[in-house]
Structure 1
Amino acid sequence: MRKTLALICALLFWGAGAAAAAADDIPRTPSGKPDFTGRYDIRSLTPFERRPERGEALVLSPEEAAEVEANQRQRVLDGDAASAPDRPPPEKGAFIDRQSYNYAWFDPGHTMFQIDGKYRTSILTNPPNGRMPPLTEGARKSRGALPRFIWMNDDGTAWWLESGDTPFDSPETMVLGVRCIYQPGASIPIRTISYNNLKTLVQTDHYLMIHIEWMHWTRVVRIDAEHSPAPYRSYSGDSIGRWEGDTLVVETTNFRREAAPQMLHGRESAGVPRGAMKVTERFSPIDGQSLLYQFEVEDEEYTESYGGEMPWPKTDQYNYEYACHEGNYSMLGQLRGARQLEKEWIAAGKPVKDAE
């Protein structure tokens, strides 16, 4: 009996020591709070939305995850293959997809992430099907007028003069991403994207800075502060933080309407904040080398709230300058090309509709 009690005490002591060691693995500020300062690479093949056929399945088997990762490796190989120099030109009037010529420019990652040792089917976990909730009727009607990232009806003419659309009137009629001003999907709520997935965090007792590689955008979270007055608005909103144990809870409001979602291939990019809404993020330490990022979005334009989670592993890679604006020669080319097509359209006597 005495030996049994001794063994139990030893096990309890070892368990307490292991828990303390685990806690000691978490970097902390002088005030004792977890210190999230560091660089994080959040790229992952885990999609933002779950594939519909997976239903409410939260996790993938290792075999299913391996298949996704193998498909990605093949996609990279196919994308890097040399183009045939004797291939025929596209048919006249055919849509030419404006994509980079190979896969070298993209870096979405090579693996799916795990939480609690399980591969996830999506970043979104709420609603339970892992997909964005439906838009309200009013939101569906208003979003038909949103600017598009890619206009699919590109037939080599100034078609917009007849339709009344204004996609290429000036830089101001283009979405913020094309103008190299702001990339909403990379900024809040934060999720994996096709490239530029590095995040740099710098923390003090009163602030958390989140530097986002895509568009070189910086969010500043004021800890234990109050929200700015409603007239103050930012593309990424106004963020304040508070501690709940070792978790930093960040609440963001006061978004600018101009940060509205863009239309990509005729479909709205999902989960982008705008206007009267609130985003709640939670940063929790997993260990000294990673944190758990969770978010919940309350948006009056959707029929219900939505949210999700993903791990942020630390990296030794550096976040270099994102000189998008300085190298944005293609936007000038679009505007010049549009003016030329408009001249040809008018010279041919084709109809012109005034923009509304």
Structure 2
Amino acid sequence: MRKTLALVCALLVSGAGGVAAAADDIPRTPSGKPDFTGRYDIRSLTPFERRPERGEELVLSPEEAAEVEANQRQRVLDGDAASAPDRPPPEKGAFIDRQSYNYAWFDPGHTMFRIDGKYRTSILTNPPNGRMPPLTEEAQKNRGALPRFIWMNDDGTAWWLESGDTPFDSPETMVLGVRCIYQPGASIPIRTISYNNLKTLVQTDDYLMIHIEWMHWTRVVRIDAEHSPAAYQSYSGDSIGRWEGDTLVVETANFRREAAPQMFHGRTSAGVPRGAMKVTERFSPIDGKSLLYQFEVEDEEHTAPFGGEMPWPKTDQYNYEYACHEGNYSMLGQLRGARQLEKEWIAAGKPVKAESE
């Protein structure tokens, strides 16, 4: 019967920006709704924001995309090259700046994504230039008033003793990223990141669970429900969903405002939600092997809304347990290093701001 209907109907329009899927290709729940249950690998070299010189160009040529992908392959080869065994050690007493991991630890993908068969210049599509809208004047003032330690100024000294800041007093004064508690850019709106890009979806008639690989964060969307009271807040907000045809529309509010400057030294990823704002996401089936993810953000700190879209291809790979918090030896090293820098600062007779000042 389904095959007969499929021949008659031919295509079922998903309502997701012109994306269509054959009806018999879409996994469905017993109630007939698309079933998004599965694991998705959203790695992509397509950037979140468009390069300024591209203007309002939405697509890349196949040749341009091939060049980006070739450059990435070379970057991986260069990053995996062995370090010179005869390189000299750092100068004794010199400050060693924080350097990144070897490239083997990164996994941003090796291809750019396509929508309707065309490579995209960015995930962001609104504004039309694919760039984040400017901050409001008030938001700019708020960012400028952030404590120095929020912006980190690693000069190899215990500068906080002079300024009165407390960046390394205890684990609780360190930012959420360092504490391995929450990764905003990976969670909502969902975007590609440097590694751990798998998402696991589990769906019933009443709920959609979105498990975020990076930092082991889980979002639960209540379908056909009302928002919880505003006092109920979370780093990733309170999500409710509704069906519009075969598209699941998810609206999220009630974000914890105080979490924003605590994300990653105040330099939050572009598009990370905070405070009194609203995020609308759309999950639409493309076929039985992928879905289209779209988002729109209404943010009081920006002068205009912004949004974008990207495909989510299914994968047979499993999420990697992100046991960062349990094995957070780096944070212990930072706290121990801060105590050493404080000893050196005091021994040098440098000024120390009293707690009462």
1:24 aligns with 2:24: yes
- Range with bigger deviation, 244-253 or 3-12: 3-12
Alignment partners' CA distance in 1, 2:31 and 2:99: 49
CA, structure 1 residues 243+261, in 2 after alignment: closer, same or farther (shift >3 Å)? farther
TM-score, with length taken from structure 2: 0.90
User: Do 2:237 and 2:254's aligned partners in 1 also have CA atoms closer than 8 Å?
Assistant: yes
For 1:261 and 1:345, the matched residues in 2 are separated by 27
CA contact (8 A) 2:11 2:21 kept: no
How many angstroms apart in 2 are the aligned matches of 1:16 and 1:299? 23
How many pairs align?
356
Distance 1:302 1:157 in 2: 35
Map Cα deviations across residues 190-229 of structure 1 (whole Å, 9 max, x no partner): 0000000000000000000000000110000000000000
Q: Measure, in 1, the Cα distance between the counterparts of 2:17 and 2:238.
A: 41
Deviation per CA, 1:145-167, whole angstroms, max 9, x where unpaired? 54789966323221221233322
User: What SS class does the counterpart of residue 196 from structure 2 fall into?
Assistant: coil
Q: Distance in 1 between matches of 2:92 and 2:294?
A: 48
Whole-Å Cα distance in 1 between the matches of residues 157 and 135 of structure 2?
A: 34
Please give the per-residue CA displacement for 1:65-91, whole angstroms capped at 9, x wherever unaligned. Answer: 000001100110110011112223456
- The CA deviation at 1:21 is 8.6
What residue is the counterpart of 1:355 in the other structure? 356
Post-superposition shift, 1:98? 2.2
Instruction: Spell out, residue by residue over 1:126-150, the C-alpha distance to the aligned partner (whole angstroms, 9 max, x if none).
Output: 0111011000111111123547899
The answer (yes or no) to whether the contact 1:148–1:264 under 8 Å persists in 2 is no
Shift of the 85–125 alpha-carbon distance from structure 1 to 2, 3 Å rule, reads same
Q: 1:325 to 1:16 in 2, by over 3 A?
A: closer
Tell me the alpha carbon deviations over residues 86-109 of structure 1, each in whole angstroms, 9 at most, x when there is no partner. Answer: 223456887744234411111000
What are structure 1's unaligned runs of at least 5 residues?
Answer: none
**Per-residue deviation at 1:267?**
4.7
Indicate the residue corresponding to 2:78 in structure 1: 78
Structure 2: tracts of 5 or more residues without a match: none
The residue aligned with 2:109 is 109
SS at match of 2:64: helix
53-62 or 145-154, which deviates more: 145-154
The alignment's TM-score, normalised by the length of structure 1, stands at 0.90
Residues 63-72 or 256-265, more deviating: 256-265
2:137 paired with 1:137: yes
Contact 2:177–2:263 (Cα < 8 Å) also in 1: no
1:155–1:129 distance in 2 versus 1, CA, 3 Å: same
How big is the shift at 1:50?
A: 0.6
TM superposition shift of 1:8: 14
Aligned mates of 1:131, 1:18 — CA distance in 2? 23
Which deviates more, 268-277 or 141-150?
A: 141-150
When residues 54 and 336 of structure 1 are mapped into structure 2, their CA distance, relative to the original with a 3 A threshold, is same
Shift of 1:15: 19
Cα distance in 1, alignment partners of residues 329 and 245 from structure 2: 48
Paired with 1:205 and 1:5, the residues of 2 have a C-alpha distance of 24
The answer to whether the Cα contact below 8 Å between 1:298 and 1:306 also exists between their aligned partners in 2 is yes
